[in-house]
Amino acid sequence: MKYQTVKGTHDILPDEVSRWRTVEEVVRRMMAAYHYGEIRTPVFEHTELFSRSIGQDTDIVGKEMYTFEDAGGRSLTLSPEGTAPVVRSYIEHGLGAKSPQVKLFYIAPMFRQENPQKGRFRQFHQFGMEALGPADAAQDVEIIALAMGIYRRLGLAGLSLRLNSVGCRVCRPGYRDVLRSFLEERGDRLCHDCRQRTQNNPLRVLDCKREECREQTRDAPLMSDHLCDECDRHFSRVRELLEQLELPYDLDGRLVRGLDYYTRTAFEVISGQLGAQDALGGGGRYDDLVEMLGGPSTPAVGFAAGMERLLLVLAQKDLVRPEPDTVDLFAVLLGARARDAGLKLLEQLRRRGIRAETDFLDRSMKAQMRAANRLAASYTVIIGEQELSKERLILKNMSEGQQEEMDLDEAVEKICRAMGSAAPKGEPSAGK
């Protein structure tokens, strides 16, 4: 049997991993600049954590979660998103008692059983950030600025920010009734899923991607016209601060996001490079979630973005290229005794941070030199029977073509000096 990856998953091969590492380093540097600490939660949680936080009537819970029963009869689910696990950890470890303001980020795999599309997989990866504690609109805007800053640092331009307010538990119930009445008048012209959503979760109808449903809801009443005074003031303040930071945005009254826990601010970052599914990432405020999951009343806001979709756009714009497959030094080892001596030398050089490679295939010197050239090695070390008989080796500067003989017991120090790498004190030399 020829084994292949499971549908909706993919291998990330070494040349592509270098792109990922570049993006991850930018994310981590930006998170550090905004003082967000990294958190790593398990890849699976109790199923109820997601069904309760995301919402029973969402597509994620209803259709997409990877849920299984373990040997103890517990229902467990592979994480389909990152916010609920972070909030669970925040509550479990009492992070709010240690600091009134907790700012966390993650880079992690997620799992959703949906139809694979361009840049969208069943196992995918997200980076995200969560700020728990502050209720101020300034925290919303900091999250948005951080998200946009990451994309700017990666060289992306032409992005747009969609913004809306989805209200709170004070004003949303009244709006939900108004919207439900509007949708019931058009029930027979909506898709099957939206007819069910009309009763259980009418806001989700506005997020339907089917053209017939979008047409029927084109003139639907919007949450922005039904905000309570507090939500209206909060949303006005968010817009005011975005303008102060010169972060342009587009108001989108249909933007509701796909998760039930959102309150007030909701936003998405959009790229024109992704077609119909154009969101690079999104987030918003979730002031009720901590309390809903058993913690104290705690305002919070967050953002998450798909790594695969981001890397797809970066590749299309040729902004993040694979790192070249190169080494600092290649050891040409001729014969069994030379391989023994060379292995010891390489280990000592590698401990000093020198990227070194050799050939264990017992190929000819000519073949090994070709390998050194292919890896663009700055230096080669040549050890054969003749060199070993004199307890020496040859170091060759590949760009200048110059070479010198040196004693084995002095080789590590001399190679490090030649390559500008200082050997740490206390390390033994090659010949001792």
Looking at the domain assignment, is residue 191 inside a domain?
no
CATH code assigned at 255? 3.30.930.10
Residue 243: inside a domain: yes
Rounded distance between C-alpha atoms, residue 146 and residue 129, angstroms: 9
The answer on 137 and 275 residing in a single domain is: yes
The SS3 assignment for 299 reads coil
Please tell me the predicted confidence (pLDDT) of residue 428.
45
The pLDDT value recorded for residue 431 is 45
Query: Is 294 found in the same domain as 256?
Result: yes
Among 22-31, 51-60, 236-245, 248-257, the minimum mean pLDDT is found in: 51-60
CA distance linking residue 128 with residue 107, whole number of Å: 7
For residues 216 and 429, the model is more confident at 216
To the nearest 10 degrees (0 to 180), the angle between helices 83-92 and 47-54 is 110
Looking at the fold, whether 269 and 391 belong to one and the same domain comes out as no
Strand boundaries in 9-166, DSSP class E: 37-38, 44-46, 67-69, 75-78, 102-111, 123-132, 160-165
- Token pair in block for residue 350: 């590698």
> Could you read off the pLDDT of 368-421 as tens digits, one per residue?
999 999 999 999 999 999 999 999 999 999 999 999 999 999 999 999 998 885
pLDDT of residue 56: 66
d(CA 415, CA 58): 61
Q: Quick: pLDDT tens for 244-275.
A: 999 999 999 888 876 678 899 999 999 876 65
Q: Which amino acid is at 403?
A: Q
Tell whether 347 and 252 lie within a shared domain. Answer: no
Number of compact structural domains in the chain: 2
pLDDT band, residue 354 (cuts 50/70/90): very high
User: Tokens at residue 17, please?
Assistant: 């991993």
3-state secondary structure of 378: coil
pLDDT of the residue at 275: 58
In which band, very low, low, confident or very high, does the pLDDT at 148 lie, cut at 50, 70 and 90? very high
User: What is the DSSP secondary structure assignment for residue 260, as one 8-state letter?
Assistant: T
- For the domain that residue 354 is a member of, what is the CATH number? 3.40.50.800
Q: Is residue 192 part of a domain?
A: no
β-bridge partners, 365? none
* Whether pLDDT at 11 is above 50: yes
350 and 389 share a domain?
Answer: yes
Residues 84 and 135 in one domain: yes
Do 309 and 376 lie in one domain? The reply is: no
Question: Tokens 């600490």 — which residue?
Answer: 37
Strand partners, 379: 329, 397
Q: What pLDDT score does 274 carry?
A: 64
Of 316, 345, 369, which one is at a domain's C-terminal end? Answer: 316
- Euclidean distance between the first and final Cα of the chain, in Å? 51
The single-letter code of the amino acid at 141 is V
Domain membership of residue 194 (yes or no) is no
3, part of any domain: no
Q: Does residue 300 fall inside a structural domain? A: yes
Which residue in 82, 137, 147, 168 sits closest to 282, CA to CA? Answer: 147
Whether residue 155 is contained in a domain is answered as yes
Compute how many other C-beta atoms are within 10 angstroms of the C-beta atom of residue 365: 13
The last residue of a domain, from among 283, 316, 349: 316
- Average pLDDT (7-20) is 91
- Are residues 252 and 395 both part of a single domain? no
- Whether 261 and 394 map to the same domain: the answer is no
Which of 316, 340, 368 terminates a domain? The answer is 316
The DSSP secondary structure of 154-190, one letter per residue, reads TT--S-EEEEEE---TTTHHHHHHHHHHHHHTTGGGS
329-333/379-383 β-pairing: parallel
95 vs 119, higher pLDDT = 95
Q: At what angle do helices 14-33 and 307-316 cross, to 10 degrees?
A: 110
Give the total residue count for the chain. Answer: 432
Tell me, yes or no, whether 231 and 104 share the same domain: yes
Q: Give the closest residue to 431 by CA, choosing from 383, 380, 363.
A: 383
283 and 409, same domain (yes or no): no
My answer on whether 306 and 338 are in the same domain is: no
Q: What range does the domain containing 375 cover?
A: 329-418
How far is Cα 383 from Cα 387, in angstroms, rounded to an integer? 6
Whether residue 219 is contained in a domain is answered as: no
> What are the C-alpha distances in Å from 401 to residues 53, 234, 371, 385?
65, 68, 16, 22
